[in-house]
Amino acid sequence: MTTTRTPDSDWLHWVLFGLLLALCLVVGIALFWEEPPDSQGYGHGELRTMRQGGTGERHAQVLWLGAAFGVLQLLLFVACLGFGLRGARGSSRAKRRALLLGGVLYLAILMALVLTYQDYVKDPTRLLVSLPPPTAVMLWVLWPFPLYFVLVYSLKFDDWVFRKEDSRRFRELVDAWSTGSNPPTGPQSPEENG
């Protein structure tokens, strides 16, 4: 049994591996970065078991490191989605476009969050609809945005991931296995089906 390889299968696993290595590097740098004073909070005046966070200035030195970690996580997330769709049938161009659009928008939202936080550290008096601007961006834009990927996946599942012929082939294999006979011959993986 020979498998035919799609163009994506030759490089996407290296992208995932590279992203994981980059995430490890960022975490390693963070572990050895000098900790700013009061970065773990400081004692509360009345409650001994409680700690206070203080101002956001304590994050100014490591904001870029947190942003790098967030960007790498986001890229890993989108690459994993792409890895799951690489052998699936359907329009390869449409799949790439949908993932690329989602990834770029998600990255833009994350960068907007980082930039609003950076501005908020400089001037913590500004509010956006009664919330600090970074909190507003996170609650109203960043957290709901993954619904884009959920919608794309659920609306395109039958075309891109598991088609009716895949279901029929699966049923044939299950029936053949349950009766103890040899499974029917045919394409063995989505990549072979082209």
Residue 183: per-residue pLDDT: 62
Q: Which residue has the higher pLDDT, 60 or 168?
A: 168
User: DSSP assignment, residue 58?
Assistant: G
Least confident of 1-10, 18-27, 64-73, 125-134: 1-10
Share of the chain above pLDDT 90, in %: 34
Residue 163 burial by Cβ neighbours in a 10 Å radius (0-12, 13-18, 19+): middle
**pLDDT of residue 191 exceeding 50:** no
pLDDT per position as a tens digit, 20-55: 999 999 999 988 988 777 677 777 777 878 877 767
Residue 40: per-residue pLDDT: 72
Cα 6 to Cα 193: distance, rounded to the nearest angstrom:
11
Where are the domains positioned within the chain? Answer: 8-43+50-161
Tell me phi and psi for residue 96, to 5 degrees: -65, -45
Residue 184: per-residue pLDDT: 59
Confidence of residue 162 (pLDDT cuts 50, 70, 90): confident
The chain-wide mean pLDDT, for the chain, equals 82
What amino acid is encoded at 171 in this protein? R
Decide: 110 and 74 in contact? Cβ < 8 Å: yes
User: DSSP assignment, residue 4?
Assistant: P
**Largest Cα–Cα distance of the chain, in whole Å?**
75
Confidence of residue 137 (pLDDT cuts 50, 70, 90): very high
Cα 37 to Cα 133: distance, rounded to the nearest angstrom:
25
Q: What is the pTM of this model?
A: 0.73
**pLDDT of residue 141 exceeding 50:** yes
Residue 192: per-residue pLDDT: 47
